[in-house]
A and B are shown apart, each in its own frame.
Chain A
Amino acid sequence: GNSVTQMEGPVTLSEEAFLTINCTYTATGYPSLFWYVQYPGEGLQLLLKATKADDKGSNKGFEATYRKETTSFHLEKGSVQVSDSAVYFCALSDQTGANNLFFGTGTRLTVIP
């Protein structure tokens, strides 16, 4: 079956620190992989995506590379800001054609000045 495993939070970092949030997946076939971000009191927003092995998704200074050999899609940012404080969800889309997303449990990031 399909599943996503994220590192548990919460994660607390100082401003300008390096961020890594680990994500590994189990899937049949060749899924697409996503990171979504949820700011306080809001719904989720797509942060970045990758649709095939070795693709790198990037947006707003965040990056993640689709690693088929390690079934991973770790999220990284070189220098976090207070405004990056949010919950981050890793997700995969299977190939059923129904755009059904399987989400990880989310990782809460707090960045302190």
Chain B
Amino acid sequence: DGGITQSPKYLFRKEGQNVTLSCEQNLNHDAMYWYRQDPGQGLRLIYYSQIVNDFQKGDIAEGYSVSREKKESFPLTVTSAQKNPTAFYLCASSISAADNSPLHFGNGTRLTVT
């Protein structure tokens, strides 16, 4: 079955450490996205990529970095510069970055930093 796989489901890190969240898709989608979900708030866009080797900052990119070396993969690194990294992170993809192309979401990674 095609889909988006995020791993791990739960991740724990100490403050000051960088951590990388994995996102893989086998849907042959061009566009991929990272969102952050906090309690009582909607999803906020961190980064998105319209095509391999290209990515753009979203609304809350500070303290995060991404790469898009392969079409299938869009890993997100939460750096020590991110002031409040504990959150639920959702990866998504779409056929293209054009409007109305529906997003397909992974099941998320819950990151806890102490």
Whether the pair B58, A100 counts as a contact (CB closer than 8 A) is yes
Residues 19 to 46 of chain B near chain A (Cβ within 8 Å): 31, 33, 40-45
- For the complex, give the distance between the alpha carbons of A43 and B43 in Å: 11
How many A-B pairs fall under 8 Å by CB? 68
Interface residues of B (CB under 8 A from A): 4, 6, 31, 33, 40-45, 48, 50, 56, 58, 90, 92, 94, 96-108
What are 25 A-B interface contacts by the 8 Å CB criterion?
A: A32-B99, A32-B100, A34-B102, A36-B105, A42-B108, A43-B6, A43-B90, A43-B107, A44-B43, A44-B92, A44-B103, A45-B105, A46-B103, A49-B102, A97-B97, A97-B99, A98-B50, A99-B48, A99-B100, A99-B101, A99-B103, A103-B42, A103-B43, A103-B44, A104-B42
